[in-house]
Amino acid sequence: GEDVEQSLFLSVREGDSSVINCTYTDSSSTYLYWYKQEPGAGLQLLTYIFSNMDMKQDQRLTVLLNKKDKHLSLRIADTQTGDSAIYFCAEPSSGGYQKVTFGTGTKLQVIP
Amino acid sequence: NAGVTQTPKFQVLKTGQSMTLQCAQDMNHNSMYWYRQDPGMGLRLIYYSASEGTTDKGEVPNGYNVSRLNKREFSLRLESAAPSQTSVYFCASSEGEVGTQYFGPGTRLLVL
């Protein structure tokens, strides 16, 4: 089955860039996702990338996709204290119906 | 437009008690999901429903049952709660080509 791996914790200083990494298993995935979970809340889609793209930029967010190595990364430029959250990488699961497999999540701590 | 709502927000149960977690979405989505979130394990799919009247097991279905009452509502039942079911439970729905999942705020369950 699918297995999405992430490191559990990342600490950065306010104003620095954050890079959160993820490895996934299914090379046929059409979309790959990044979700954000703020304390005490549900997950919310942050951004996604289509599998035929290498990079997607959206304001302070840059997503890089390396299909050969099955590696996905999320870069947050000029990290702010409001970016403190858990970030989940996700890929579609087998069996359809828009199921996804989530990684373990990376907790981002931003130090003022 | 409330999105995905869940009740209750918090619940404490004794081992062996039963309860039903309620979920409703007002986005006219066909697919709905129940996840549990445990520290260091990300989100794990308990059950999902591709459309009204259909339900299927996910990764961790043991000890749970579900009902897709209509297109809007998808409930999760614990017939005989166990301490291992202490967790945060999230309901989600999805639709569209990208398959974005929309999450409720979660139910925090403690089983003593």
Q: A19: which residues sit within 8 A by CB, 6+ positions away?
A: A10, A73, A74, A75, A76
B78 touches chain A (CB under 8 A): no
CB contact under 8 A, B98 and A48: yes
Measured CA to CA in angstroms, residue A38 lies from A45, A106, B19, B63, B105 at distances of: 12, 12, 27, 29, 10
Gap between the Cα atoms of B12 and B41, Å rounded: 22
Q: Could you report the per-residue pLDDT of B78-92, keeping only the tens digit for each?
A: 999 999 999 999 999
B39 touches chain A (CB under 8 A): no
Chain A residue closest in CA terms to B48: A99
Asked if residues B103 and B7 have their Cβ atoms less than 8 Å apart, the reply is no
CB contact under 8 A, A100 and B50: no
Q: Given A42, A93, A96, which is nearest B104 (Cβ)?
A: A42
For chain B, the average pLDDT equals: 94
> Residue A96: which pLDDT band, with cuts at 50, 70 and 90?
low
Suggest the residue from A20, A43, A94, A101 to mutate for an interface test with chain B (most B CBs closer than 10 A).
Answer: A43
Cβ atoms within 10 Å of B72's Cβ, excluding its own: 17
